[in-house]
Structure 1
Amino acid sequence: AGMDRENAPNIIAAILPIVVGVVLINFAKLPPIYGLGISVILCILLFYRSIPSGELVPALNEGFSNGVMPLIMVTAVVGIAQVVAQTDAFDVVKNQLLTFSSTSKVATAVSVVGITNVMALICGSASGAIAMTLDMFSEAWLSAGLDPEWIHRVVVTASGGFDTVPWNSFVVLILTMGKLDHKRSYMPIFWVSLMAPILIALLGVFFV
């Protein structure tokens, strides 16, 4: 939808709905649906003069589409990860990883990077991989003599590797919002957000 630049809102009016939404949801503890709804209504009131006549409904339709479609894609991906985590196959993988052991401290350090990325691949989420990896493997790694601070740093770094698979929720979200496709846009993401964290985490092995 077009916009009348002569009547464009100032910066305070532009950021006010965002601030109101954050305050209502995080501090006033209003349910997100109501906090966002109030922010939308505030947007309409503040920006009404800036939207050309007859463009209000198309603008709302476009905003709704831009918000709902990424939401559907992200929830679908997250839902798949949750289903996978409940399967027997996931238990088999988890048990196999738990039985992994090595008498070499360096080999165990390398396994931190590898296991974290296996979990990130299964979860499709860096934060999920961090939580599950530390919960299931931290005691074994501590028993092998690895420093807890080192484990934390390497797990956090390594988790940003295989979580960036093509079906990762964040990848899907940014490509959907940017109106891009995987064929043309995924390779730069692959090198920057998948390979780089793994290589950096592997460098941490030299400081174990």
Structure 2
Amino acid sequence: MILGIIGILLSLTLLITLAYRGVPVLIAAPIAAVVALVFSRAPILAAYTEIFMPAMANFVGNFFPVFLTGAIFGVLMTVTGYAKSIAGTVTSLVGGGGAIAATVITSALMTYGGISLFVVAFVMYPLARELFRVADIPRRLIPATIALGIFTFTMTALPGTPQVQNIIPGQFFGTGSFAGAALGLIGSAGILGFGLFWLEFRRRQMARKGETFSSSHSASATEGAPAAETATTVRTLEPSNRFVPFLPLITVFAVNFACTLFIFPAMDWGYLSEEKYGGIALSSRAALWAVLIGIVAAILLIIVMNFQHRQQLLRAIGDGARQSMLPVFSTASEVGYGAVVASVAAFALVRDSVFNMGANAVITSVVTVSMTAGLTGSSSGGMTIALNALGEDLKAMAQADGTSLETMHRLTAMAAGGLDTLPHSGAVVTLLIVCGLTHRQSYKDVAMITIAGPVTVVALLVAAVTFTGAF
């Protein structure tokens, strides 16, 4: 049993190391799983085909539609010029000196509007670079600024966010995407406030040191990362007015909200109990379906508004479909790795130690999800791994404690968005590559924005729930 625990720790260390060194998670995850299996003396081939692959396939089966439609939506927002127009409108409202705020707000609008996180990163970098150049703010603050808009409050905290991190808890707790609205709004305000404070503090600190946009210690040797430039080489269409680009984002929110709170509850879902539909309950699928319908509605709206350019839109749809593949399969591979680790005998000891630490359901869920998200470098992958292994137990514990499942949903989702951005995180590595910067240049600020702020806010909210019984 001791060897099994050592194997789990070594496999996690190997996964982190390989990811940090740039090995694709699709390859790193099964390699790391083999290490855990060897130390546990479990059959490797059987575990791969009967545990790893089914868990991976199950994740793809559940969430591929969201990754696919989100990526397509993001590319369409780019080629229509809507994303650029939104950035220009926000900048004009915030003012020329508000480059940081304009970048955060624009990134947040796109993320909350349903565009895939990775797509937003590609879309936002060229826009942010121009804003920072005009304001003469050091380039190495760009990754942290974009990260505040896409990897924090709009990903996990804001009620109704269509990102997959907000959908996953609903699959286990039977809750909707607007669950824990009060907690989410308070948490969002805390994370956003801390992030803006830190970015402004760092801007002033760098200005006192004479650091500028073009200074050597701010600029990268790879000025203008190729990946980022690719996102802007497509010929964009010009929106007819400044309000039109916001319509697709509004559509995602409005349709998601209407389906969750009004349309779905008013419909008869009795047929879901039939065997051919898996005997599921609406509560286990409502969040996923509402977000999916919202994004599809927004895509159709874009096509209708730009039908005269349908050939270019069709090519963009194909590009978006291709761009969705790597993120969904990378995350699914981490989920497969988690399923393998959960299958070895030593994991039972780890699970029992978590549940025997004497904490309530909220603390247990937050700690477990934070650890797995940190170890895997993925909020969605880490949360799925933890909830696949412990979700039913956590739900039962919450019901026994009298803890609201909506509270569990919101704090669990927010916990996934903390330690997930450690240096080996695929999202962080991708963002830095897009911005043409290195960990040495920008990671300290990214960590403050995506780890220090969210973790502190979640800890405070957990304390409030635990000691006051609020929410």
TM-score category (smaller protein)? 0.5 to 0.7
Aligned to 1:47: 40
Letter in structure 1 aligned against 2:125: L
AA aligned to 1:170 is Q
Gapped regions of structure 1 (runs ≥ 5): 1-6, 50-56
Question: Is 1:199 aligned to residue 199 of structure 2?
Answer: no
SS of residue paired to 1:163 = helix
Q: Alpha-carbon deviations, 1:142-176, whole Å to 9, x = none?
A: 21x25135852433223323233543233344665
Moved more, 109-118 or 16-25: 16-25
How big is the shift at 1:84?
Answer: 0.5
Taking a change above 3 Å as real, the CA distance of residues 36 and 184 of structure 1, as seen in their structure-2 partners, is closer
Aligned with residue 180 of structure 2, among 150, 164, 187: 187
Q: Give the distance between the partners of 1:205 and 1:25, measured in 2 at CA.
A: 27
Structure 1 residues 205 and 108: CA distance shift in structure 2, 3 A: same
- Superposed displacement of residue 94, structure 1: 1.7
Contact 1:116–1:129 (CA under 8 A) maintained in structure 2: yes
Identity, % of aligned pairs?
Answer: 8
- Measure how far apart 1:80 and its partner are: 1.4
Q: Which amino acid in the other structure matches residue 138 of structure 2?
A: P
Is 1:12 the counterpart of 2:19? The answer is no
> What is aligned with 1:140?
131
Give 1:3's aligned residue: none
Counterpart Cα distance in 2 of 1:193 and 1:157:
13
* Residue 167 (1) aligns with residue 172 (2): no
- Residues 90 and 195 of structure 1: CA distance in aligned 2, closer, same or farther (over 3 Å): farther
Distance in 2 (alpha carbons) for counterparts of 1:196 and 1:185:
18
Residue 141 of structure 1 and its aligned partner are, at CA, apart by 4.0
Following the alignment from structure 2 to structure 1, what is the Cα–Cα distance between the partners of residues 33 and 200? 51
Residue-pair matches, total? 190
Q: Deviations over 1:5-32 (max 9, x none)?
A: xx574422334555666788988x6994
Q: Which has the higher contact order (CA 8 A, sep 6+)?
A: 2
C-alpha RMSD of matched pairs (Å): 4.6
The separation in 2 between residues aligned to 1:205 and 1:16, in whole angstroms, is: 36
Aligned-partner Cα distance in 2 for 1:185–1:26: 34
Question: Distance in 2 between the 1:183 and 1:169 partners?
Answer: 12
- In the alignment, is residue 158 of structure 1 matched against residue 149 of structure 2? yes
Structure 2, unpaired ranges of 5+: 204-471
**Letter in structure 2 aligned against 1:124:** S
C-alpha contact 1:17 1:43 (8 A) present in aligned 2: yes
- Displacement of 1:180 after TM fit? 2.7
- Does the aligned pair in 2 maintain the 1:158–1:201 contact within 8 Å? no
Spell out the pairing of 1:109-124 with structure 2 (5 A cutoff): 109-121=100-112, 122-124=114-116
Asked if the contact 2:78/2:123 (under 8 Å) is kept, the reply is: no
The change in CA–CA distance for 1:67 and 1:95 in structure 2 (over 3 A counts) is: closer
Alignment CA distance shift 1:41-1:194 (3 Å): same
